[in-house]
Amino acid sequence: MRALATDHDLIICVDCGTLSHGPIAAAQDADVIVLDHHLGGETLPNCSAVVNPNRQDETGALAHLCAAAVVFLCLVNCNRMLRETGSKVPDLMALLDLVALATVADVAPLIGVNRAFVTQGLKVMARRERAGLKALADQAKLDSAPTSYHLGYVLGPRINAGGRVGRADLGARLLSTQDMREAQGLAAELDQYNHERRSIEEEVRAAAFAQAEARGFEAPLVWAAGEGWHPGVVGIVASRLKEATNRPAIVIGLDGDEGKGSGRSVTGIDLGAAIQNLAMNGQLIKGGGHKMAAGLTVETTKLETAMKRLAELLKQQGADQLGPADLKLDGLLMCSGATLELLDLLEQAGPFGAGASGPKYVFANVTLSYAKRVGDTHIKLRFGDGLGKTVDAIGFGAYESDLGAALEHHDGQRFHIAGRLEKNVWQGRTSVQVKLEDAARAS
């Protein structure tokens, strides 16, 4: 989110990165406060205050906050100051549904205070008091209490879809409206944009994967660039490339003389600092971000040189030495053990997400009784261990690798199935479902 709020001679810029031009430059004599969470530059903007846990002179203790959380904590302090004057203050706890949504959608790690924000925010959201989120949940057919999964994969993508392929103001309007009829219309519009985003994303994904594979998936940097690639989906495709290769990945949409790209990194590799290095040395028009995610703008004529230099910087961090991503499992589970009671206990230990991975289990030596492709890249399964009970599973993106075909054409062969447990609500019936992480033929 990038926003500019004004009130007479006060300007507040939210989530604007290392902003030194635009609103600040145009502010003239107004007081300017920047609330941000991006990696700060060596020189701060010329303004009244920069509130950013990722400033160069910060300790990093709150570096995991997203911009909405920074704003929330700023408001908490404003409330404290107002109370000292005897003034009436707003109920900030009622805003934690928005903070929780932003935290998960921005893939901020669920550690420290972020866990408290999301835990309480989910409780606020379950009350369904915010018209926009209620309408969006109904549009997405979410008929159960929300979890962090729903924030990251159901609600967040729909809100972001307006800015990616439609109109950037729709998400803000949806979250701020108190008119239920308006909220329903905005939710339907965002849902349609989300369908369009998926179609555009798939086209770019196929082209980017082919191009990156031709360069080599073992390089310290996996990247792809294409003329006309929609800037609203390059970040999502970069994330897919990163997950498939366990390498830092960048995808760039070219538009004539200039390209705008987005990158995603892996644990232990600081992509944001490397990109900021290139920007400071003039190899990029601009660039910056976080350790795990960053953006850049580059001249088309300098693209190859910039990516080569970026690969060298990432190699210095050991990006070329990374092997396949490890799948860390927490236990062995029988089909009879996959119960709603177990899920309820696991949910009490949540929320789970980035930086706080939920438990993964393996079901060993099971037989597939059902395997069917769903959509373009997903697969539905049913498996059992021969002791009576069967378990359903869903594998998202399984056909983006050899996994989908191997499971669909199993020919009666047994498999080890690994994944997370989740609740599946369908036509009023709640059951346990496995979200497939991986599978291997049983020897």
* pLDDT tier at 127, thresholds 50, 70, 90: very high
pLDDT band of residue 23 (cuts 50, 70, 90) is very low
Q: What is the mean pLDDT of residues 144-172?
A: 90
* Whole-number Å distance between alpha carbons of 42 and 228: 34
pLDDT recorded at residue 283: 95
- The answer to whether residue 5 scores a pLDDT higher than 60 is no
Written as one string, the DSSP assignment of 341-391 is HHHHHHHHT---BTTBPPP-EEEEEEEEEEEEEETTTEEEEEEE-SSS-EE
Q: What percent of the chain has pLDDT over 70?
A: 93
Q: How confident is the model at residue 9 (pLDDT cuts 50, 70, 90)?
A: low
Set out the domains of the chain in order of their start, with CATH numbers: 1-54 (no CATH), 55-194 (3.90.1640.30), 216-321 (3.10.310.30), 331-441 (2.40.50.460)
Does the pLDDT at position 19 exceed 60? no
What contacts 369, CB < 8 A, 6 or more positions away?
A: 382, 383, 384, 390
Instruction: Check if the beta carbon of residue 148 is closer than 8 Å to that of residue 351.
Output: yes
Beta strands in 68-140 (DSSP E): none
121 exposed, middle or buried (CB, 10 Å; 0-12, 13-18, 19+)? buried
Contacts 24+ apart (CB under 8 A), 366-373: 366/335, 366/414, 366/415, 366/416, 366/417, 367/412, 367/414, 368/407, 368/410, 368/415, 371/407, 371/408, 371/410, 372/408, 373/399, 373/404, 373/408
Question: What count of other Cβ atoms lies within 10 Å of the Cβ of residue 25?
Answer: 12
How far apart are alpha carbons 441 and 292 in whole angstroms?
33
**pLDDT for the residue numbered 4:** 41
Alpha carbon 218 to chain centroid, angstroms: 24
The yes-or-no verdict on residue 425 having pLDDT over 90 is no
Q: Which residue has the higher pLDDT, 4 or 340?
A: 340
Residue 355: what pLDDT?
84
The structure's pTM equals: 0.80
In this structure, are residues 367 and 418 in contact, taking their beta carbons and an 8 Å threshold? no
208-245: pLDDT as tens digits: 999 999 999 999 999 999 999 998 899 999 999 998 89
Are 275 and 294 a contacting pair, CB within 8 Å?
yes
Span 49-73, mean pLDDT? 91
> Residue 301, Cα to own-chain centre: how many angstroms?
31
Cβ atoms within 10 Å of 443's Cβ, excluding its own: 6
CA distances to 188, 230, 302 from 259, in Å: 32, 11, 10
Q: Phi-psi region for residue 70, left (φ > 0), alpha (ψ -120 to 50) or beta?
A: alpha
Please write the tens of the pLDDT for every residue from 387-422: 989 999 999 989 888 899 999 999 889 999 999 999
Q: For residue 315, name the pLDDT band (cuts at 50, 70, 90).
A: very high
Give residue-wise pLDDT tens across range 347-390: 888 899 888 888 999 999 999 999 999 988 899 999 999 998 99
Rounded (10°) angle between helices 96-105 and 156-165 = 70
Statement: residue 27 has pLDDT above 80: no
The pLDDT value given to residue 375: 86
* Average pLDDT estimate for 29-42: 80
Nearest in space to 203 (alpha carbons), one of 171, 170, 240: 240
Rounded to the nearest angstrom, the gap between the alpha carbon of residue 17 and the centroid of all alpha carbons in its chain is: 18
Angle subtended at Cα 346 by Cα 343 and Cα 350, rounded to the nearest 5 degrees: 130
Give the relative orientation of helices 96-105 and 67-84 as an angle to the nearest 10 degrees.
Answer: 150
- Residue 29 confidence (pLDDT) above 70: no
